[in-house]
């Protein structure tokens, strides 16, 4: 191929520009996602960025220096800058330079260099973040580590540019007799089996930790259940809300030999503990005031868990990171549709929960029929003249809200409902005032954070049965709502530029449809405003997965 025809422009600061309409772009999207982060996704060139953590994750997933550089060199329109080559080599050289091991028949932990002559740990011990951890030097330039500091050590080392390889092993945990129900005829899908197996590979630390990344609707819960069945140990599962907790409990009881008494709910409603316990993030991070201890801290440390599963791991609140740092001797599995965190704490997921050990491109699962085909549509609407003056006079924050609550969105929503009469439609938004107005206008029920759980369950069941064809949900609908019949989602407002939210909202319609039809995801956006700016940011992750947003202009939709 002539160099002019290659699709990738590689820059010395780690920026990668991919020509979207090039024949190789679809293939390269998935490969670049393994070594770089998507940052911008305008119409003609998508911008990725290579960083140390993206290279460390690639290394943990088995990417060698030769493979990474070959990918860049084979597809680069111009020579790969030497400065970037050196950056990649430096990141790879720092990965695994030090390892944490446990002395045989002992609780003693040792942090040691791969090369016994490497004296760099002594230099690191003078840094403030490591000075209270690296206090006990031993022979071969190694250090004895307090087991209670295992997680803190890993965080400090990665922030100093040296992610360590944790080979210190894990507790077995109390045994649980569990099998898949023999009469269920359950067979995990091939990628679900591969996800479970990856936990026991070198990437997963030999069966100790890691994150599985699969889209909504692909059956991440079954991956967790498959691992429980394989490890046969007491397990704590952390989930984002009560709806999710109860779905986990229902699925475990349905597909395994465990009974009602073996799988407990630990939430604001019930606080039961059993061999398999499913808890909400909210209850585990509860405390009465900022100066008091966390109320339910003993849930983590006071029981002989052999496995902790973090559902929607990208949502992990700060206190749970702290607890996780303190329980590094327990096996850990993270499940998510996207490792994107808007707070930039991907490094803590990487080092405390584990590296990405398995992922599957969304469009590959779509081709296999495991998730639905989805058409993504961005509908651009003008802000009415009477609203424009107030918008221009407002500060940046209020401009976003004014443009998000554009009254033209309600008019357009009515047209979409008419177009999709007979479908199960979810309307999702950010602002309660806007959602209440929509509910009054179209006569559909609304679920918010204030809706009692029993009422939520009733409405979800009515939506599944078809008694309620259109359901309006606030941010509570972003996660863990199993509504397989939903074929249309309409996003009328979002959380600033949250890419993870966009992915989760699309996920509400990703369950494959019984008749094989295509789903539709609409995003209503106010043209030439902050609303449109943030909408473009939210779309990045899905565009990395190969989705394209069709644009419907107001002139078209109001004809």
Convert 401-433 into a string of H (helix), E (strand) and C (coil). HHHHCCCHHHHHHHHHHHHCCCCEEEEECCCHH
Backbone angle region of 78, left / alpha / beta, with phi > 0 → left and psi within -120 to 50 → alpha? beta
Residue 116: per-residue pLDDT: 94
Question: For residue range 277-300, what is the model confidence (pLDDT) as tens digits?
Answer: 999 988 887 777 676 777 777 788
Q: What class has domain 98-167?
A: alpha beta
User: What are the strands of the beta sheet with 45-49, ordered from one edge?
Assistant: 8-10, 15-19, 45-49, 37-40
Helix (H, G, I), strand (E, B) or coil at 322: helix
Helix (H, G, I), strand (E, B) or coil at 19: strand
User: What are the strands of the beta sheet with 98-102, ordered from one edge?
Assistant: 137-138, 142-145, 109-113, 98-102, 165-167
Contacts of 78 (CB under 8 A, 6+ apart): 3, 9, 10
HEC states along 212-243? EECCCCCCHHHHHHHHHHHHCECEEEEECCHH
On the question of a common fold for 190-360 and 368-557, the answer reads: yes
Given a contact cutoff of 8 angstroms between Cβ atoms, the answer to whether 96 and 165 are in contact is yes
* DSSP per-residue string spanning 350-402: IIII--EEEE--HHHHHHTTSS--EEEEEEEEPPPHHHHHHHHHS-HHHHHHH
Residue 2: per-residue pLDDT: 46
Contacts of 538 (CB under 8 A, 6+ apart): 494, 497, 498, 499, 501, 502, 523
Q: Which residues of 244-254 are buried (b: 16+ CB within 10 A; e: fewer)?
A: bbbbbbebbbe
Q: Give the start-to-end residue ranges of the domains of the chain.
A: 3-94, 98-167, 190-360, 368-557
Give the span between the Cα atoms of 40 and 544, in whole angstroms.
10
Which of the following CATH numbers is that of domain 368-557: 2.60.120.1600, 3.10.20.440, 3.40.50.300, 2.60.40.10?
3.40.50.300
CATH fold of 190-360 reads Rossmann fold (3.40.50)
Residue 397: per-residue pLDDT: 85
Residue 42: per-residue pLDDT: 62
Residue 416: per-residue pLDDT: 96
Residue 90: per-residue pLDDT: 95
Give the span between the Cα atoms of 118 and 140, in whole angstroms.
8
**Reduced DSSP (H G I as helix, E B as strand, rest coil) percent helix, strand, coil of the chain, to 5:** 40, 20, 40
Given a contact cutoff of 8 angstroms between Cβ atoms, the answer to whether 381 and 406 are in contact is yes
Given a contact cutoff of 8 angstroms between Cβ atoms, the answer to whether 543 and 41 are in contact is yes
Q: Among 136, 144, 139, 95, which Cα is nearest to 116's? A: 139
Residue 374: per-residue pLDDT: 92
Given a contact cutoff of 8 angstroms between Cβ atoms, the answer to whether 509 and 374 are in contact is yes
Question: For residue range 339-379, what is the model confidence (pLDDT) as tens digits?
Answer: 777 677 778 888 889 888 888 878 888 888 899 999 999 99
Give the span between the Cα atoms of 330 and 205, in whole angstroms.
12
Give the span between the Cα atoms of 300 and 302, in whole angstroms.
6
521: its two tokens: 């995801």
Residues of the chain with pLDDT under 70: 1-4, 40-43, 202-207, 289, 291, 342, 479-481, 496-497, 554-559
Angle between helices 82-94 and 52-60 (to 10 degrees): 60
Torsion of CA 274, 276, 281, 285, to 10 degrees: 40
87 Cα distance to chain centroid: 27
Torsion of CA 132, 136, 137, 143, to 10 degrees: -70
Backbone angle region of 105, left / alpha / beta, with phi > 0 → left and psi within -120 to 50 → alpha? left
A 10 A CB-CB count for 374 gives: 21
Residue corresponding to tokens 């630390």: 205
Residue 557: per-residue pLDDT: 44
């Amino acid at each position: 191929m002539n160099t002019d025809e290659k699709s990738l422009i590689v820059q010395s600061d780690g920026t990668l520009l991919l020509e979207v309409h090039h024949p190789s772009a679809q293939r390269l999207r998935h490969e670049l996602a393994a070594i770089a982060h998507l940052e911008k996704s305008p119409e003609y060139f998508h911008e990725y960025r290579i960083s140390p953590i993206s290279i460390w994750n690639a290394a943990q997933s088995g990417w060698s220096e030769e493979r990474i550089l070959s990918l860049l060199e084979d597809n680069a329109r111009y020579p790969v800058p030497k400065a970037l080559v050196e950056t990649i080599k430096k990141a790879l050289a720092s990965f695994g330079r030090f390892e944490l091991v446990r002395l045989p028949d002992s609780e003693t932990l040792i942090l040691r260099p791969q090369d016994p002559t490497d004296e760099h740990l002594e230099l690191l011990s003078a840094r403030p973040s490591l000075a209270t951890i690296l206090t006990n030097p031993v022979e071969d330039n190694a250090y004895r580590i307090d087991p209670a500091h295992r997680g803190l050590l890993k965080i400090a080392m990665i922030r100093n540019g040296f992610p360590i390889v944790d080979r210190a092993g894990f507790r077995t945990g109390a045994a649980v007799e569990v099998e898949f129900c023999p009469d269920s005829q359950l067979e995990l899908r091939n990628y679900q089996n591969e996800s479970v197996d990856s936990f026991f590979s070198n990437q997963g630390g030999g069966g100790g930790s890691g994150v599985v990344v699969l889209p909504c609707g692909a059956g991440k819960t079954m991956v967790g259940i498959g691992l429980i069945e394989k490890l046969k140990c007491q397990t704590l599962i952390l989930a984002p809300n009560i709806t999710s907790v109860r779905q986990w409990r229902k699925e475990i009881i349905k597909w395994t030999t465990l009974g009602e008494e073996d799988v407990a709910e630990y939430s604001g409603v019930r606080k039961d503990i059993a061999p398999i316990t499913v808890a909400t993030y909210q209850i585990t991070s509860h405390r009465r005031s900022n100066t008091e201890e966390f109320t339910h801290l003993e849930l983590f440390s006071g029981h002989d868990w052999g496995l902790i599963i973090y559902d929607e791991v990208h949502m992990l609140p700060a206190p749970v990171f702290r607890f996780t740092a303190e329980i590094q001797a327990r096996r850990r599995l993270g499940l998510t549709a996207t490792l994107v965190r808007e707070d930039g704490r991907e490094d803590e997921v990487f080092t405390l929960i584990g590296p990405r050990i398995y992922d599957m491109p969304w469009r590959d699962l779509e081709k296999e029929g495991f998730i639905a085909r989805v058409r993504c549509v961005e509908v651009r609407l003008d802000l009415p003249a009477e609203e424009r003056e107030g918008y221009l006079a407002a500060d940046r924050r209020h401009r976003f809200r004014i443009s998000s609550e554009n009254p033209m969105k309600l008019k357009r929503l009515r047209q979409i409902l008419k177009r999709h009469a007979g479908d199960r439609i979810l309307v999702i938004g950010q602002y309660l005032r806007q959602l209440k107005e929509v509910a009054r206008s179209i006569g559909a029920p609304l679920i918010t954070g204030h809706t009692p759980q029993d009422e939520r369950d009733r409405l979800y069941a009515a939506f599944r049965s078809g008694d309620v064809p259109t359901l309006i949900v606030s941010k509570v609908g972003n996660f863990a709502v199993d509504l397989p019949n939903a074929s249309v989602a309409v996003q009328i407002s979002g959380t600033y530029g949250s890419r993870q939210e966009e992915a989760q909202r699309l996920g509400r319609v990703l369950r494959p449809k019984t008749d094989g039809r295509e789903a539709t995801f609409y995003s209503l956006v106010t043209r030439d405003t902050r609303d449109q700016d943030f909408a473009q940011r939210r779309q990045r992750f899905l565009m990395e997965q190969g989705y394209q947003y069709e644009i419907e202009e107001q002139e078209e939709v109001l004809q």
